[in-house]
Structure 1
């Protein structure tokens, strides 16, 4: 079958190494598309311990698939959370068409897109109404303080400070909190001159335009692959949501090229000497 040609695909939180990882569905989806750019936002690996234990075969095939896509010309960006020390070790490695960064900025048809996990928003401070009225300069300072606080807590094995994005609570309260977080993040994006903000932290699909006192920005989230099997796709100057449950063709794609390549062949095509860009 002919693969769908798309400009950008975004998948969030695939959690390779986790028992609940939906690796077979991910393999089928990746095999059904041919993107120029693939952004993996958020948790790609379940934990650092995943490197020290054997991966299930379907999970390992995802790594092979990604390297195969990179060798075919797809640029793959791993946008990892600030506290993810696993990919910090990869950041200095040189892989052809594979990049590691905490924040990614891309030009898409003359518009600026900001891809971030958004873990710095996972704080009670950003849920306060008064934060919404802060200027972009002060918002960036506040975000930096929270990042530093979380980095210190992570280094000593403590949970993130005042984590809220995935906390339990009244449904209406969480909706109000999510709305405030969206508005605050969009204001940060507009201050950075961005037209699109793609955030990896939310667990649900989002695609809406939000206005601020200094401009408007399209706020997007790919949802959470491990929970909802959803993604984002950019093509023909517009974003659309993807739902695996509604895709009638993906399950029928067989990755014959990947089956014929062993690990050594894939790695030899992708590793190279010298530094690589990490934004």
Structure 2
């Protein structure tokens, strides 16, 4: 308890110091967030071992990012990531951080559920890797990437800032992206078209708790797979897609999303929320879901030519360094 109070006092002191040094008015979002984040140490150079060879995906709309050489950075016109769920044990922060290090874009869309406020209210969980992801996103914004943050249901507290630009990050309830080929795509998280979230919130919270248990089993399952030399595979996603009601729910969600996109005069929709990465035509509209970073470890990208692809990042190009052993302090002479 004493340690927690001291930690909170230190955070508030850093926040006050940084806010006093900023200009009058609303402080930039990077300053407001970084005040509560300890240094990440992301800039330290690290050796990059060669990735394991893996077969390419068969789907033309899917791209195996592991084919990219480890010493190169892939550049895209736009990148969409969603459902990161920072603040939960199920978040695959190391994989997302590795993805962000090896992929650059002119625009970066954060399509909701980046920070899981639901879980953080139940209990605080914030390891260094989650802090590193936040710092990396802020650094991309400072270096010229246009970062657009579209909140979801787990980080809905950010929706009150719709239309405001905090420093280098713009918060939008939704957005319209124009591809290089001239397609207008509506960008939104998608929870507003989820009947359970909107009309049976208690059931959504219950489902979230059960989902957390499944993700815990998923972590142990993949820990065993990693020791046996197998790549990441989502047990939770497999179980979810075997349930007929879940499949029917996903189909209904897709139809509702494209219908609203058509009503808004767009050629399609880009969303997240249901943790199922996909690109396909639905009712004559383009439906794109960028997946998530707790199950599928996927993102949606637009190439410089305007082609949309799903990128899966299930192998680390830069594996995290093993934790250093703490040095014992030398005993003071008597």
Regarding TM over 0.5, the answer is yes
Q: Which structure has the highest strand share of the two?
A: 1
Q: 2:295 aligns with which of 203, 227, 236?
A: 227
Deviation at residue 161 of structure 1 after TM alignment:
10
Instruction: Give the number of equivalent residue pairs.
Output: 218
Structure 2 equivalent of residue 239 of structure 1: 308
Q: TM-score, normalised by structure 2?
A: 0.57
The structure number with the bigger radius of gyration is 2
1:9 aligns with: 79
The 5 Å alignment of 1:75-94 reads 75-81=146-152, 84-88=155-159, 91=162, 94=165
Name the counterpart of 1:102: 173
Would the alpha carbon gap of residues 50 and 162 (structure 1) be closer, same or farther in structure 2, given more than 3 Å must change? closer
**Contact (CA 8 Å) 1:123, 1:161: kept in 2 or not?**
no
Aligned residue number for residue 29 of structure 1: 99
> What is the correspondence of 1:1-279 to structure 2 with a 5 Å cutoff?
1-47=71-117, 50=120, 53=124, 55-81=126-152, 84-88=155-159, 91=162, 94-109=165-180, 110-123=182-195, 158=202, 171-211=243-283, 216-235=284-303, 236-245=305-314, 251-252=317-318
Runs of 5+ unmatched residues, structure 1: 125-145, 255-279
8 Å contact kept, 1:123–1:162: no
1:163 & 1:169 partners in 2: Cα distance? 15
> CA 1:30–1:183 in 2, change beyond 3 Å: closer, same or farther?
same
Structure 1 match to 2:30:
none
**Cα drift, residue 169 of structure 1:** 9.7
Q: Secondary structure at the match of 2:295?
A: helix
Report SS of the residue matched to 2:294.
Answer: helix
**SS of residue paired to 1:36:** strand
The list of structure 1 runs, each at least 4 consecutive aligned residues, that deviate by more than 6 angstroms after superposition, is 161-164, 166-170
Root-mean-square deviation (CA, aligned residues, Å) is 3.3
User: The residue matched to 2:101 in structure 1 has which SS?
Assistant: helix
**Change in 2 beyond 3 A, CA 1:84/1:159:** farther
Once residues 192 and 210 of structure 1 are traced to their aligned partners in structure 2, the CA distance between those partners, rounded to angstroms, is 16
Answer whether contact 2:269 2:288 (CA < 8 A) is retained: yes
